[in-house]
Amino acid sequence: MKRIVSGITPSGDGSVHIGNYLGAVRQFKELSRSHDCFLFVADYHALTTVQDKGQLQKNIETLILHELALLGDLTNITFYRQSDINGLHTELQSILNNVTPLGLLKRAHAYKDKLQKDTAEDDVNVGLFSYPMLMAADILLYKPDLVPVGKDQKQHVEITRDVAGRFNKTYKKNIFNLPEPYIPEEVATILGIDGKRKMSKTLGNIISIFDDEKIIEKQVMGTYTDPTRAHATDPGHVAGNMVFTYLDFFGEKEKVAQLKELYTKGQVSDIEVKKYLYESLMKTFAPARARYADLAAHPEKVKVILDRGRQHALAVASKTMEEVREAIGLRNAYSIGPSTPASPAGGSLGTSISIDDFSRVEMTVGNVVEATNKEGSDKLIRLVVDFAEEKPRIIFTAVRPFGYTPEYFLGKQFFFVTNLAPRKMMDEESRGMIMAVDSDTEKKPLFVSAEGLTVGAKIR
Ligand code: TYM
């Protein structure tokens, strides 16, 4: 499965508007049917503009809820916060800084815009200047094939490709692949309700998705239509009319075609067309608005999703960082922890790992709710295991050669390691590992029972 990575920044008030939705979230949803998706809340990125603690907290919370509500089903989606990945995003940013020429960043739009607008070069925030490097790190850590974004972010993906190439060349190792931006033309830039500039939280020209109905209605009613049309009976223009631009995405095809015809003939008023847009938006987003209310009322569900996402993303990002540290020479004979290079004899991690390293291994009590022999394999048993998470996980164990059958596992509780990077086994991903111990007397691994313990409880 190809991989995508993308982020949204909790800037402005943290809300997701229809511009973000069409330019990004809708693509995430579609791509998640056939791609392994890493989607994150870019909270470090927000620091360039949000420097009020309470505001940042609120923005992050809002964005998490909005994005999760819009995504709905999270199959194939790893959803996490950038700042939850143990600083790996900023570590890679620091490393990449050293293979990047100043000129590359000076050509970045965000920096150039700032200079043109109101700020002297000496006053530009360094965070804003190195923003593209943080984005490069966000992306490269997960080695994606595609980065779905709106057109405003295209240059950042190009900088990422440039930096990845420079890193590989400098260290003569192909650690990073060069991801492609994924920008469908029809949603590359969604204009705001002013009909002039990109829809943007900071410009305040948005139509929101989760606000009070009255607010959304007001935003729709304030949307730019055709300034040359004074009366409903005047023939109106559809091209450049934002109400019709949005209706092309949210209205029913036939009804929209009919309204366009009436509008150009002067047979329907602006108000009627806007009313239809408002109704279409409410209909499109009704399921997401319901999910939003549910998530807002159940913070524990949100935490479970974020925790699961963090574990998976951390496992993938840690692996990349190990390769990076190794490639650049940070790993050496005195390195400690799980990163110690394998001994010459091969395989072993060495004699000592630290308590901190060990505490990062997460062992969880799981209940086997389904167990079957994996078709096409003579070794694998496919377990479906409940960890009191949002969804049970599929975990394989290759123990048929020892005489184990699915019936042995079904309905029982065991300990599982749950923060491993998923491993593809035949056509599915195994998201964890069942724990077993060697036996002196029996020639097979023995599984450690967790009967009577709470499902989802972790060993500490
Ligand atoms: P942000 O938060 O400004 O926007 C999130 C996504 O929405 C797209 N977008 C739009 N697309 C079309 N029309 C619009 N009016 C519109 N407004 C926003 C953006 O292009 C973006 O895809 N720096 C990024 C977040 C980020 C990121 C990353 C993205 C951080 N690291 C790594 C991809 C990969 C940003 O501020 O997007």
Residue range 318-348, pLDDT digits in tens: 999 999 999 999 998 888 755 433 333 333 4
Does residue 350 register a pLDDT over 50? no
Tens digits of residue pLDDT in 109-164: 888 888 888 788 899 899 999 999 999 999 999 999 999 999 999 999 999 999 99
Lowest mean pLDDT among 110-124, 272-286, 294-308, 445-459: 110-124
C-alpha 94/C-alpha 43 separation (Å) is 17
Mean pLDDT, the chain, as a whole number?
Answer: 92
Tens digits of residue pLDDT in 398-445: 999 999 999 999 999 999 999 998 888 888 999 999 999 988 788 889
Considering the domain delimited by 361-460, tell me its CATH architecture: Beta Barrel (2.40)
Confidence (pLDDT) at 136 = 98
Q: How far is the CA of 361 from the centre of ligand 1 (A)?
A: 34
Q: How far is the CA of 150 from the centre of ligand 1 (A)?
A: 6
State the DSSP code for 81.
E
Is-same-fold flag (3-182; 213-284)? no
For residue 4, give both structure tokens. 């995508």
Confidence (pLDDT) at 337 = 57
Beta pairing partners, 449: 414
Residue with CA nearest ligand 1 atom 7: 20
Confidence (pLDDT) at 439 = 82
Q: How far is the CA of 372 from the centre of ligand 1 (A)?
A: 43
C-alpha 172/C-alpha 362 separation (Å) is 35
Least Cα distance to 31 among 251, 162, 182 occurs for: 182
Coarse DSSP helix, strand, coil percentages of the chain, rounded to the nearest 5 percent: 45, 15, 40
Q: How far is the CA of 26 from the centre of ligand 1 (A)?
A: 12
Residue in 58, 198, 301, 379 annotated catalytic: 198
State the DSSP code for 361.
S
> How far is CA 443 from each of CA 12, 401, 439, rounded to the nearest angstrom?
62, 11, 7
For residue 347, give both structure tokens. 């395989």
Decide if 114 is catalytic: yes
CATH code for the part of the protein at 3-182: 3.40.50.620
Our answer on whether the CB atom of 135 is closer than 6 Å to any ligand 1 atom is yes
C-alpha 100/C-alpha 91 separation (Å) is 15
- Residue 372 in contact with residue 382, Cβ under 8 Å? yes
pTM > 0.85: no
Amino acid at 264: T
- Residue 387 in contact with residue 433, Cβ under 8 Å? no
Our answer on whether the CB atom of 82 is closer than 6 Å to any ligand 1 atom is no
Percent of the chain with pLDDT over 90: 84
Most ligand 1 atoms within 8 A of CB, residue of 4, 9, 25 to mutate: 9
Q: What are phi and psi of 335, to 5 degrees?
A: -65, 145
> Which one is predicted more confidently, 166 or 358?
166
Our answer on whether the CB atom of 23 is closer than 6 Å to any ligand 1 atom is yes
Average pLDDT over residues 65-72: 98
Q: Where are the domains of the chain?
A: 3-182, 213-284, 361-460
Average pLDDT over residues 222-247: 94
The CATH class, in words, for 213-284 is mainly alpha
Our answer on whether the CB atom of 207 is closer than 6 Å to any ligand 1 atom is no
